[in-house]
Amino acid sequence: MTSGVSHAVGLPTMGEFGDPATLVDLARAADEAGWDGVFFWDHLLWRDPSWPVANSTVVVGAAAAVTTRVRLGIMVNAVARRRPAQLAAETATLDALSGGRAVFGAALGSYPDEWTRLGEDGDPRTRADLMDESLTVIDALWSGAPVTHRGAALTVDQVRMALTPVQRPRVPVWIGGSWPARRPFRRAARWDGVMPTHREYPSGTTMPPATLAEVLAYVGEHRDPAAGPLDVVLEGRTEPGDTSTVAAYAEVGLTWWIEAFGWWRGGLATARQRIAAGPPG
């Protein structure tokens, strides 16, 4: 395996991947095959209305119950459509249930119809403002101390959550964003990880290492020098025994490789085979 890089499995939650029992079975298989993480998409609706869409919060909790090693999380939570106290409680519960294996992914969400068709504001700037305020509240609630917050959209009045995450000071927060937009990456500089995609590279393809280096340079310009290490997370595709693909990204700072699966990559059958083969290298 590539030195210094962890390897995870990324699973959609719709279509033929929309069966909850199947997703939990894939998580178990990844745990047994030596992968380091299993992460699930977060959607309520999908472009094809005939496709079932599984609830990622329920699925990731079930995955925690049948795995012992892998990191687990939702990549990424569409934070602005959720109540922050609910998200804080769900994630603290997942971290406790899994023995400190939770990761918290956060982004705007990539499918505006999910918002507007359910009567919510689809404007990305509104969602971004609400996400930033929500992350502040979630982080405070994880502390276990009484929280009072009066912001532009959220109010918390002396709320203390006694069930806190196992991990301290918090569950790692990884921020997703689509380059070349800049705001998501200024946001990532304030948290624990960055997970970039690129508008010019659709599902099944990955930005080149030089572009990742450009993203990280920008994040570094906005990161407090006293902050701790930043996880650098990227989705892509490898075959068994392929060490060179991940190594090229590791040279520019990659710490987590997420092996991406979906209908564009042979569907469920390919996912089962590739997960069973284990991480690249």
pTM of the predicted structure, to 2 decimals: 0.96
Selected residue with higher pLDDT from 280 and 116? 280
Residue that wins the pLDDT comparison between 109 and 132: 132
- Is residue 281 scored above 90 in pLDDT? no
Sequence-distant (6+) residues with CB within 8 A of 33 are: 275, 276, 277, 278, 279
| Tens-place pLDDT, residues 52-64 | 999 999 999 999 9
Query: What is the CATH architecture of 6-277?
Result: Alpha-Beta Barrel (3.20)
In this prediction, residue 211 carries a pLDDT of 96
Over residues 14-34, the mean pLDDT reads: 98
Rounded Cα gap, residues 186 and 251, in angstroms: 22
pLDDT tens for 85-117 read 999 999 999 999 999 999 999 999 877 778 788
Q: Token digits for 203?
A: 């599902």
